[in-house]
Every structure is written in C-alpha cells, then in structure tokens.
Amino acid sequence: MPPSERPIPMFAAEPPQESAPYGRWEETLRAHFLAAVGNISTDEQIGEARGALWYPERTYDGRTYVPVTAPTSEGFELFGYVSYTREHEGAEAVDFAAIADYTDETAEANPEWKLDLSDQEIGHWRGPESRRG
C-alpha cells in the first residue's frame, strides 16, 4: 500500500463512548456534581446551576471520568467532573467522587477564543526519560 498524504492516521481507533447521560443516570451524576459545587469555597454569589452539559467519558487507571460544565444564574460557569469505578463492564457504578470549580471567564463572553481549556488534572503522565506531565 502506498504511503498516505493525509496528516491524520486513517486507522486510529476511537475508544468506545457511552451516549450522553440521561434519566436516572444523569440525575445520579448531577447530584454528585452539585454536591461538589456546594463545597466550593468563595465569597462570591455564584448562583444556581442551570442545566448541565456532559462531555464524553474517559477512563484512566480503572476510573471513569465524566466532564461537565453548567452555566449559573449569576453569569458564572461551573466546571468539573464526576468519576466512578466499575468492577467490570456493565457492573453498577461505585466509589463516586466529584470535583467542581467555577469561573467568570466564559467562552460566551470571549467570542475571539478558539479553544476553551481547563487546568484540571486527573493524573500524571509518564514520558521518555522518566519525564512526567
């Protein structure tokens, strides 16, 4: 087969992903996220969460992370994730943990932004020569 001129590998596999959470599963994740929101220590009135936008889950080191953002009634944005473990595929989710924070710098307020990033880390990555990221 001749080399491809495409800069992106045609045969890279995307890991399987569940659909966006809905129903009782979404309620469970939302309850854990809102509990983490309640633990945010701030003097600002960040308001109430208005809906939640769930992002594709990812699993790292046996733990599944479901990122989430939610606008608030005061113009802030909540962000974080809910994580859990499963004994095996299809088993009940257990050992929930959630992290939440907020920001007043939102993509809606900054239309010139091309990429919206979070500094939240879920683990360290090892690279060549024992480098860690």
Map out the domains of the chain with their CATH numbers. 23-108 (3.10.450)
Dump pLDDT digits (tens) for 32-77: 999 999 999 999 999 999 989 999 888 888 899 999 999 999 999 9
Task: Report yes or no: 79 and 100 within 8 Å, Cβ to Cβ.
Answer: yes
Stated pTM of the model:
0.75
Strands (E) across the chain are located at 53-54, 58-60, 63-71, 77-85, 94-103
Task: Report yes or no: 66 and 52 within 8 Å, Cβ to Cβ.
Answer: no
What is residue 66's three-state secondary structure? strand
